[in-house]
Structure 1
């Protein structure tokens, strides 16, 4: 099943990533938020593990597009698509981290205009909603 996902960061004029179409391994019309998160993590871990790891003799520079460079420097993360850590992602650990991060309030998930606040909440996929993930940033500092 194909779903539409947008990832944003609060306080930015432009989303860090634009709308993406993800292919998840699911055929039903309704799904819980917990299942959806696990399937998205499974798809992303699979995509990460499928990437080839470059070695020094095969290093290829993948420079970002000119209009995307400002967004990268604003976020403080200017990457060139190369992966230098050859360790593969662990699917179970990644799933646990995603669920824990949601429970801890590290990111918010919206289905269309509705915020999803409970992992057991059922989502109707027959309407082909757009899912928005917003990374929440905590302020640092103290009052004294």
Structure 2
């Protein structure tokens, strides 16, 4: 299976976490967007499950570490709070359901891609995931 390098961005429309994180990611060539979501979620669950949960006696961040993560809007120790391993299949199922329900929108090179659309990624395509925020209010 051939690999393709893409530029992945994640955005949130909430006031609390209006982060934009852009990174170069290598993924397998896909035939539909659901495969791309499954690959990215799978890779992220693997990375999360490999993170250490043990606490150091004295935690500190160097100036370089702070500079490296400051662009995300949250400077922290990047450690896990939960010792439980996450279920990859359940995470993929949740992500695909959120995409199908419109909670997550996907854009490839500024063009919105619909659920289960047939798609082939071009090298260095800009793929953006936008997490929508549900608004709750009351009638006056």
- TM-score (norm: length of structure 1): 0.76
**CA root-mean-square deviation:** 2.8
2:130 to 129, 134, 138: 134
1:49-102 Cα deviation digits (max 9, x unpaired): 1212223x5563448737938933xxxxx6431212111111100010101111
Native 8 Å contact 1:3 1:23 kept in 2: yes
Closer, same or farther: CA 17–58 of 1 in aligned 2, 3 Å = farther
Native 8 Å contact 2:106 2:128 kept in 1: yes
- The residue matched to 1:34 in structure 2 has which SS? helix
2:121 to 117, 120, 125: 125
Mark the runs of 5 or more structure 1 residues left unpaired by the alignment.
73-77
Mark the runs of 5 or more structure 2 residues left unpaired by the alignment.
none
Closer, same or farther: CA 44–69 of 1 in aligned 2, 3 Å = closer
Matched, 1:60 2:59: yes
